[in-house]
Amino acid sequence: MVVGLSCCLALASDLATWADGQPAPDPVPDLAEGYRFVGPALAAVAAKVAERPAIARIEQLGLSAGERPIWAVHVADPSVPVREEVLVIAGIHALEWISTEVALTWLDELLDHPPAGTAITVIPVLNADGRAHVEADLLEPAWGNYRRGNHLGVDLNRDYTVHRDARSWWRHVLPDYHSTTEAPLSQPESRALDALLERRDYDRAASLHAFGGYLYHPWSGRWRRPDEWAAFVRQGRAMEKAQGGHAYRTRQLSRWGFFFRAQGTELDHLYGAHGIEAWLIELTRSGLRPHRIAADRTTPFRWYNPVEPHPHVQRGVAALRALARGPM
């Protein structure tokens, strides 16, 4: 469902109370300082889109398992024919707020300066349920809750169609590393994303996660190299260069560790099922602070989200800019 201009401002008002009808706190809880609650953030996006109807449009991709809307924003420069399309997905895992901060920051930039010839789609929060649950935890506060999945507790990062079958010998030793959901595309969030992929012809895509400091390319579920391995390396080097100092490292996800495979991921689905040059970007190198490790380890929110998000957001946005441009 595409939201027309006449509905954008009304949508902005509705989105301001996106988190289960509750307005964002003012001020935000100390733990989330520097991070935006999604309702007001998306309301600001809707208001800005209403001012730029020729550049952007908002689409509701579907409803989550908990019947919350899943939003996408499409941006393009109308004065230049579209040559390529790029997709950015954020907020797949509930606690990884830094991914949504990167997506929202880049989206704000795109609305002011859409790239010539490249259409961009940004999904700020795919896992609307999990994000709402974490926001509620912060308001309780119930900071010690570890949340990853959607309303049903399903990990959306393992719900796709490609490389679901574990073949590594290590599946017998570390079965949790090789697990998937019960069936492919079992969740409405995954189906909504896949329906978008069927309708659009994306050239490149990035799924934003935390933490690790890596630019991961396929495969995640197989040790073998992808056919376009050299092209992935070139694009990865372009993103590294754009990040400057302390850049993330380019690596095939399945080769993060010799024992590691990730089965049924969106990374392999984007590439294997839809032929999209796909990246899984692990933002930051954790929010844990060495001098406060004892306190931080009991607060899952801090594991994924640094105290000062700004430099990490800028590094992530730099990588996305380079991805939109393609390898130089």
Does any domain span residue 36?
A: no
pLDDT of 12 higher than 60: no
| Chain segment 36-85, per-residue pLDDT in tens | 999 999 999 999 999 999 999 999 999 999 999 999 999 999 999 999 99
Does any domain span residue 135?
A: yes
| Integer Cα distance of 47 and 82 in angstroms | 25
pLDDT of 246 higher than 60: yes
Number of structural domains, the chain?
1
Q: Do residues 53 and 111 make contact, with C-beta atoms less than 8 angstroms apart? A: no
Does any domain span residue 139?
A: yes
Q: Do residues 59 and 193 make contact, with C-beta atoms less than 8 angstroms apart? A: no
CATH code: domain of residue 212? 3.40.630.10
Q: How many residues does the chain have?
A: 328
pLDDT of 34 higher than 50: yes
pLDDT of 6: 46
pLDDT of 290: 82
Parent domain of 223: 64-325
| Chain segment 256-306, per-residue pLDDT in tens | 988 889 999 999 999 999 999 999 999 999 988 887 877 778 889 999 999
Q: How many other C-beta atoms can be found within 10 angstroms of the C-beta atom of residue 241?
A: 12
Which of these ranges, 20-34, 90-104, 155-169, 176-190, has the smallest mean pLDDT?
20-34
Does any domain span residue 38?
A: no
pLDDT of 172 higher than 50: yes
Does any domain span residue 12?
A: no
pLDDT of 92: 98
pLDDT band with cut points at 50, 70 and 90 for residue 13: very low
Mean pLDDT along residues 315-328: 94
For CA atoms 100, 103, 109, 114, give the dihedral sign.
negative
Does any domain span residue 246?
A: yes
pLDDT of 226 higher than 80: yes
Q: At what angle do helices 97-112 and 310-325 cross, to 10 degrees?
A: 60
pLDDT of 137 higher than 60: yes
| Chain segment 68-81, per-residue pLDDT in tens | 999 999 999 999 99
Does any domain span residue 170?
A: yes
**What does pTM read for this prediction?**
0.92
